[in-house]
Structures are given as structure tokens and as C-alpha cells.
Amino acid sequence: MKKIVLMVAVVACVAFASQSAQAVTVQASVENVMQDDFVKIEVKDLPQAVQDAIAKSYEGSTVKEAYVAGADGAKKYKVVLADKDQKEQTVVLNEKGEVVE
């Protein structure tokens, strides 16, 4: 009887562990797909309209990272901002500095 209970417990643990590992893999894949649209650029390469919009709407925040997407059409800029408390916020803007998404 002890062997049966132990066997059921082992099988349950293995099943749970494999599902958890699979969930982590799926989540990582989704994050990679979302990042693939954007290409990292230098902060200094952001258009002036985007820089002005950030300075006006997110006063006191600094740009940590910048990305661009849509090389063949309307460009979108994803910007990672850090406020004075180092809390990060991601914002997507168009070429005119308007927030999108």
C-alpha cells in the first residue's frame, strides 16, 4: 500500500513539473515574438518630435532604451522610461510623438 501511495505522489510531481516547465517555455516564446518587431536603436537616434513628447508628457523621466519598428511604413518607437524612483515604464509612440497602443 505504501508503494502505491508513493508511486502516485511521484507521478503527480513529475506531471506538475513538466507542465510548469512547458508554461515557462511558452511565455518566453511570446515575449520573443513581441520584441522581434522592434529593433534597438540609440536614444540619440529618436526623432525630435518623440524626444519633445517624452520631455513634455513624462517630465522627470529618462530614456533607458529605445526601439523602432516599421522601417517600410509608418514608424513606431518603443521607449523604456525610468522615473526618479527608477520605476520603469514602456511607451510606444509614432513619428509625431503621439502615444499609440
**Closest of 59, 49, 98 to residue 81, by C-alpha:** 59
Tell me, what's the pLDDT at 101?
73
Count of structural domains within the chain: 1
Cell numbers placing 35: 520584441
Name the residue range of residue 60's domain.
Answer: 38-94
Q: How far apart are CA 11 and CA 3, in angstroms?
A: 12
- Residue 50 falls inside a structural domain: yes
Tell me, what's the pLDDT at 98?
93
Domain with residue 84: its CATH number is 3.10.450
Mapping DSSP onto H, E and C, the string for 28-91 reads HHHHHHHHHCCEEECHHHCCHHHHHHHHHHCCCCEEEEEEEECCCCCCEEEEEEECCCCCEEEE
- Residue 32 falls inside a structural domain: no
- Residue 12 falls inside a structural domain: no
Residue 89 has pLDDT above 70, yes or no: yes
| pLDDT tens per residue across span 11-37 | 766 666 666 555 444 444 444 444 558
| 41: confidence class by pLDDT, cuts 50, 70, 90 | very high
